Amino acid sequence: MNSKPIICLFVKPPVPGHVKTRLARELGAEQACRVYCYLVEPIVAAIHASNLPLTLFFDGERPEQLPESWRCHALSCYRQEGVDLGERMTNAFLQLFQEGFRSVLLCGSDIVGLDECYLQKAALGLKRSGMVIAPAHDGGYCLIGCTVESFRTSIFEQISWSTDQVLTQTLYRCRLAGLEPAILDSLPDIDTLADLKNAAPRLLKYRRLSAIIGSIPN
């Protein structure tokens, strides 16, 4: 039985043309892919520094498609299974609960500010409330955590994924299920060039990302 929450990080193999496609329309596929890698790498490092276990759930065919620098910090790598995001997240939670983990923090991989301190706050919120959610600036959420006791598949159902209604609808589903998640500070996710520029003040320690932003004409 595992008492520490496990971090479930949703990732994609960094293949130009297959990641950050909206950003690629503005920066080009190669540059957008670099942005994605520069977002994922500090998250993986922060999880490692937090001393919380990590598993990677990837949208692809083989774990070898993921960089070794990501896989070396993970206990395991699994394919995401499901027809939509809600099913993929549901199945990830269920799999980790079946493996004996009592609590899971599921995170997106294109988030700015998901550092060691933030992850520890998420773990504390999960321990106190049984559920935790981190809003994203675009109306969705970038982290969601549940204990095995609080988990309900219904919180991932009837959600308009990839819209600005995701968080509102999810909180409504939580209320219907009798759940009151702890709410963390909102963080930006990066889907477009505007997102990247708006997040610039947070990116001072992300030197390679800052360099990309600095090279973009106003």
Q: Is residue 212 part of a domain?
A: no
Which tens digit of pLDDT belongs to each residue from 73-110?
999 999 999 999 999 999 999 999 999 999 999 999 99
Element of type H or E holding 191 = none
For residue 137, name the pLDDT band (cuts at 50, 70, 90): very high
SS3 label, residue 62: coil
Instruction: Give the count of beta carbons closer than 10 Å to the beta carbon of residue 208.
Output: 13
Q: Which of 14, 41, 68 is nearest to 205 (CA)?
A: 41
Q: Rounded CA gap, 218 and 210, in Å? A: 14
The mean predicted confidence, pLDDT, of the chain is 94
Q: Is residue 216 part of a domain?
A: no
Q: Which residues contact 159 (CB under 8 A, 6 or more apart)?
A: 86, 165, 166, 169, 170, 173
Query: Domain count of the chain?
Result: 1
- Say what percent of the chain tops pLDDT 70: 99
Q: Is residue 75 part of a domain?
A: yes
Q: Is residue 215 part of a domain?
A: no
Q: Which of 60, 102, 91, 110 is nearest to 156 (CA)?
A: 91
For residue 2, name the pLDDT band (cuts at 50, 70, 90): low
Segment 122-151 shows an average pLDDT of: 97
Q: Which range marks the domain in which residue 75 is found?
A: 6-207
Q: Which residue has the tokens 């600036």?
A: 137
Q: Rounded CA gap, 76 and 97, in Å? A: 14
Determine if the pTM surpasses 0.75. yes
Q: Is residue 142 part of a domain?
A: yes
Within the chain, how many helices (H) and strands (E) appear?
8, 7
Q: Is the pLDDT of residue 197 over 60?
A: yes
Q: Is residue 214 part of a domain?
A: no
Segment 182-186 shows an average pLDDT of: 97
Q: What pLDDT is stored for residue 95 in this prediction?
A: 97
| 8 Å CB contact between 208 and 184 | no
- Domain CATH for 124: 3.90.550.10
Q: Is residue 167 part of a domain?
A: yes
Q: What pLDDT is stored for residue 40 in this prediction?
A: 96
Q: Is the pLDDT of residue 218 over 70?
A: no
Which tens digit of pLDDT belongs to each residue from 164-176?
999 999 999 999 9
Q: Is residue 218 part of a domain?
A: no
Q: Is the pLDDT of residue 1 over 60?
A: no
**Which range (40-49, 149-158, 200-209) has the least confidence?**
200-209
User: E strands, 12-94, where?
Assistant: 54-58, 76-79
